[in-house]
Amino acid sequence: MRTSRIAVTAAAVVAGLTLSACGGEDSTTDAGNTSSSSPSSTPAEEQTESAPSEQPEGESSGAGTPEETPDQGSAGQESGGTGTTPERCHTDDLKITATAATISGDDTETVAVELMNKSGRACSIKGFAGVNLLSSEGAIPATRRDQTDDGTVLKSGEPTYFGIFYKKNESGGSGVKIKGLVVTPPDEKKSVTLKWPGKPSLPVTDSPEPSVEIGPMGSVGQGQG
């Protein structure tokens, strides 16, 4: 009988230890569940792990950007021919001529100066030329009219015009004789000297008003004042 009780007692102890061990495993699992049930734990790890996998895609996208750059550059170059402003027209790029362009009935005389692009490339021109009339009394600088100019892009072979406006000599005297015309394109230092195509003289006057005025590029059309 004693032997049987010892065996039963031993069996009960073993069973208790087994239950205790199982309870420990459940506690560990709950802790693991508590840890794993943290809302950002597993997703955050997944996001952290997925971020590098997304980064190559981003890098791939970034790598695609340089591939797109030539296309954008090509578009820019294409628009550059029309949209962006090319280099300005230099004196040597232009064929400059002058012709009388007075319209009948006008109170002032007009000379139209043509600047034709002969450079073989597009060039831009904007503002006022420098103009001096060479006279028997010395150089007569032209005064700029109160006009604005948005600028013009001249294709090769294309001209633009500006006007020189001066008073008629109605004094009956010889006036101030004009010997020539000096034109300097906008922003240039090199000038060209032309034959004066207008009336041979300007009136002698003490008036504070300028005797010679000029408009900006594009201020007159061919043969128009």
pLDDT digits (tens, 9 = 90+) for 104-136: 777 889 999 999 999 999 999 999 999 999 998
Range of the domain at 6: 2-80
- Return d(Cα 79, Cα 83) in angstroms, integer: 5
Which is more confidently placed, 122 or 220? 122
Q: Where does the pLDDT of residue 154 fall: very low under 50, low under 70, confident under 90, or very high at 90 and above?
A: very high
Question: What's the pTM value of the predicted model, to 2 decimals?
Answer: 0.61
Element (H, E) at 178: strand 176-184
Final residue belonging to a domain, choices 36, 60, 80 = 80
Final residue belonging to a domain, choices 43, 61, 80 = 80
Kindly report which listed range (55-64, 149-158, 207-216) carries the lowest average pLDDT score.
55-64
Q: Where does the pLDDT of residue 147 fall: very low under 50, low under 70, confident under 90, or very high at 90 and above?
A: very high
pLDDT over threshold 70, residue 178: yes
Q: What is the dihedral of CA 116, 119, 121, 126, to 10 degrees?
A: -50
Final residue belonging to a domain, choices 80, 110, 144 = 80
Question: Could you tell me if 172 and 66 lie in one domain?
Answer: no
* Residue 190 tokens, joined: 């090199």
Alpha-carbon Rg of the chain, whole angstroms? 46
Which residues are registered as beta bridge partners of 82? none
Q: Is residue 47 part of a domain?
A: yes
pLDDT over threshold 80, residue 46: no
Phi, psi for residue 108 in degrees, rounded to 5: -115, 155
Q: What is the pLDDT of residue 26?
A: 43
Q: What is the pLDDT of residue 105?
A: 74
Kindly report which listed range (9-18, 57-66, 109-118, 155-164) carries the lowest average pLDDT score.
57-66
Q: What is the pLDDT of residue 34?
A: 42
Which residues are CB-contacts of 216 (< 8 A; sequence separation ≥ 6)?
126, 127, 128, 144, 145, 147, 148, 149, 162
